[in-house]
Amino acid sequence: MFRLILLFSCFSCLYFQQATAQEKPKVPPTLKSVLLTQFKTTWDKQEWFVPIAKGIAGITAEQASWKPTDSSHSVGELAYHLLFWNKHLLAQFNGQKGQTFSGNNNETFDAFTEASWADIVQQLNQVMKDWEDAIAKADNAKLQSWYASIANMNTHNAYHTGQILYIRKQAGNWDAEKGVK
């Protein structure tokens, strides 16, 4: 009987240890973890909304050129605008001079052509990967001085991704199964 009680006690302890070992203690979020989570959800990890990477995936240069009206932007123009600003801010974050900017924001949409579409997508992919690495490697002091710019950039990216999806839905080339029905 003693052996049975001892055996039961051992199994109970092992079970309890395994059950509690699987419950990881909650670590409070850090500025870095919040900025990275926000960045990833606007770039390539779908959570509450469709991220940029999914919004521009699988679209042809011709589709990227389509505009609902003459006064609207195309998907390609919006993608170039996102490339311009993310690249510009990343250079500054890395202590380099950003791209030349005249102060006329319209110019950040105008460099798109059908011939440049594949290059814009490739460059945007690279810039966003570089941003993710830069945030992950940055120390807390750097993030403290840049948090507002990074958070605003993420919001800006999400805003224009919504426009991209709206245009794609109007053009009839958005698959609702990817999100945003």
Confidence label for 103 from pLDDT (cuts 50, 70 and 90): confident
Examine residue 148 and state whether it is found in any structural domain, yes or no: yes
Cα–Cα distance list, 102 to 99, 105, 108, 112 (Å): 10, 8, 10, 17
More confident residue, 181 or 60: 60
Examine residue 40 and state whether it is found in any structural domain, yes or no: yes
As for how many domains the chain has, the answer is: 1
Examine residue 22 and state whether it is found in any structural domain, yes or no: no
Instruction: State if pTM tops 0.75.
Output: yes
Which of 15-19, 43-47, 48-52, 148-152 is least confident?
15-19
Confidence label for 21 from pLDDT (cuts 50, 70 and 90): low
8-state DSSP, 68: S
Given a cut of 80, is residue 8 above it in pLDDT?
no
Confidence label for 2 from pLDDT (cuts 50, 70 and 90): very low
Examine residue 8 and state whether it is found in any structural domain, yes or no: no
Which of 21-25, 62-66, 120-124, 169-173 is least confident?
21-25
Given a cut of 50, is residue 14 above it in pLDDT?
no
Examine residue 55 and state whether it is found in any structural domain, yes or no: yes
Examine residue 77 and state whether it is found in any structural domain, yes or no: yes
Domain of 127, in residue numbers:
30-178
CA atoms 124, 45, 170, 108: torsion sign: negative
Examine residue 76 and state whether it is found in any structural domain, yes or no: yes
CATH for 57: 1.20.120.450
Residue 49 structure tokens: 């909304």
Which pLDDT tens digit goes with each residue over 22-67?
Answer: 667 788 889 999 999 999 999 888 778 888 999 999 999 999 999 9
pLDDT at res. 23: 66
Examine residue 133 and state whether it is found in any structural domain, yes or no: yes
Given a cut of 90, is residue 179 above it in pLDDT?
no
